[in-house]
């Protein structure tokens, strides 16, 4: 991957690396080319900011570790790692039944429809950190930026597309929001913030053999995928990546964020939820996978797949040349969480567990 920005959190939900390219020129000061919160500079210890800046909350000896739900640049202890490994052993020993594995894998959209029926637009918070983490979103929404097409995959109830449009000053920006849950798309279309001049919402499964309605190959400037790839079965990764690659213009970018291996939500998974390695079913019937950095690099470069078609294209549009991504696992509780959870790692929502 070209110049990735990857942030993976460990089993205690604390980032171990943030924001620095894998390879930097000799004698180059990271703070001179990176935003302050990505510079690994401990003097930039903001603790709390609005919006919160990932990478700038350092845990110092005099700090109360329970003051915040996540800290940056903290290495997991041997005890943390041992706890994680012991939990994985217990999870593997009590997997989901074959009956449940089949019913949850056969029609995943069904369970997301149920989720959005029970949790309309009030479950996930609007993502105020989008432009901070993905500077390209500032570029395409800037006044006078010209005709731009932004595709959000896995749009849910609109917690990404609506914040993007709220900051938009570009009269020629079009946001195309898609989700494989018809209920989610209904929520977006029915929102008071829906503006058909700048937003289109359609039902589409990123792993399907077809491209989204009315979208052609090589027409998308930016793809946004926030906590959606983890909902796919591993066999769906290849067709999903190929569809994204087809849709992007040469030099386009993918803004990616998802769950990291060892997230507290993974550690706290109960018996009967393990489906495959690092792949689980939640109590509400939705699926979740937990990634690590190398795995994502292999997936998005095409190296994880037997056929290497993604890397055969000799142009500036090679898939590995237009990926900008983060994999960021969120803490199980608190203001920075993607999804509210209880002490068992379950969503705290109106959903009734399908296993109880």
For the stretch 303-331, pLDDT in tens is 877 544 444 443 333 333 333 333 333 33
Judged by average pLDDT, the poorest of 18-27, 146-155, 179-188 is: 18-27
Q: Which residues of 63-94 are buried (b: 16+ CB within 10 A; e: fewer)?
A: eeeeebbbbbbbebeeebeebbeebbeebeee
Q: Token pair 């640049």 is at which residue? A: 73
Contact 131, 156 (CB under 8 A): no
Q: 255, 63, 251: which is closest to 152 by C-alpha?
A: 255
Average of pLDDT values for 15-20?
34
130/211: higher pLDDT:
211
Q: Whole-angstrom Cα distance, residue 15 to residue 166? A: 29
pLDDT of residue 203: 93
pTM above 0.85, yes or no: no
Q: In which element (H, E) is residue 100 found?
A: helix 98-106
List, in sequence order, every beta strand (DSSP E) within the chain: 148-153, 173-179, 199-203, 220-226, 248-257, 274-276, 279-281, 287-289, 323-325
Q: 94, 93, 111, 113: which is closest to 103 by C-alpha?
A: 111
Q: What is the largest CA-CA distance in the chain?
A: 58
pLDDT of residue 316: 32
**Mean of all residue pLDDT scores within the chain:** 75
DSSP, collapsed to helix, strand or coil, labels residue 289 as: strand
196 pLDDT band, cuts 50/70/90, is very high
* Percentage of the chain modeled with pLDDT above 90: 40
Question: How many residues make up the chain in this entry?
Answer: 356
Average of pLDDT values for 253-275?
91
Q: Token pair 């792993």 is at which residue? A: 207
Q: 323-325 and 248-257 as β-strands: parallel, antiparallel, unpaired?
A: parallel
Judged by average pLDDT, the poorest of 21-25, 106-110, 151-155, 294-298 is: 21-25
pLDDT of residue 211: 96
Answer whether residue 239 shows pLDDT above 90.
yes
């Amino acid at each position: 991957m070209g110049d990735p920005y990857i942030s993976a959190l460990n089993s205690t939900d604390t980032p171990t690396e943030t924001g620095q390219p894998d390879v930097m020129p000799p004698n180059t000061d990271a703070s001179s080319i990176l935003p302050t919160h990505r510079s690994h500079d401990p003097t930039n210890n903001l603790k709390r900011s609005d919006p919160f800046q990932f990478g700038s909350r350092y845990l110092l000896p005099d700090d109360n570790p329970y003051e915040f739900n996540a800290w940056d640049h903290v290495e997991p202890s041997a005890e943390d790692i041992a706890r994680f490994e012991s939990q994985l052993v217990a999870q593997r020993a009590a997997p989901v039944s074959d009956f449940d594995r089949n019913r949850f894998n056969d029609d995943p959209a069904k369970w997301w429809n149920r989720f959005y029926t029970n949790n309309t637009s009030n479950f996930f918070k609007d993502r105020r950190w989008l432009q901070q983490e993905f500077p390209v979103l500032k570029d395409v929404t800037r006044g006078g930026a010209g005709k731009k097409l932004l595709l959000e995959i896995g749009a849910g109830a609109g917690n990404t597309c609506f914040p993007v449009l709220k900051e938009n000053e570009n009269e020629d920006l079009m946001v195309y929001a898609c989700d494989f849950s018809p209920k989610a798309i209904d929520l977006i279309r029915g929102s008071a913030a829906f503006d058909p001049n700048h937003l289109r919402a359609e039902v589409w499964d990123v792993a399907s053999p077809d491209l989204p309605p009315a979208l052609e190959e090589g027409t998308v400037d930016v793809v946004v995928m926030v906590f959606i790839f983890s909902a796919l079965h591993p066999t769906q990764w290849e067709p999903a990546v190929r569809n994204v690659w087809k849709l992007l213009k040469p030099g386009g970018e993918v803004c990616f964020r998802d769950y990291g291996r060892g997230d507290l939500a993974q550690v706290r998974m109960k018996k009967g939820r393990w489906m495959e390695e690092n792949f689980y079913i939640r109590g509400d019937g939705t699926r979740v996978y937990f990634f690590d950095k190398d795995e994502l690099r292999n997936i998005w470069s095409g190296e994880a797949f037997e056929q290497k078609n993604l890397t055969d294209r000799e142009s500036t549009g090679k898939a590995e040349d237009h990926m900008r991504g983060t994999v960021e696992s969120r803490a199980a509780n608190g203001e920075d969480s993607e999804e509210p959870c209880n002490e068992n790692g379950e969503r705290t929502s109106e959903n009734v567990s399908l296993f109880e």
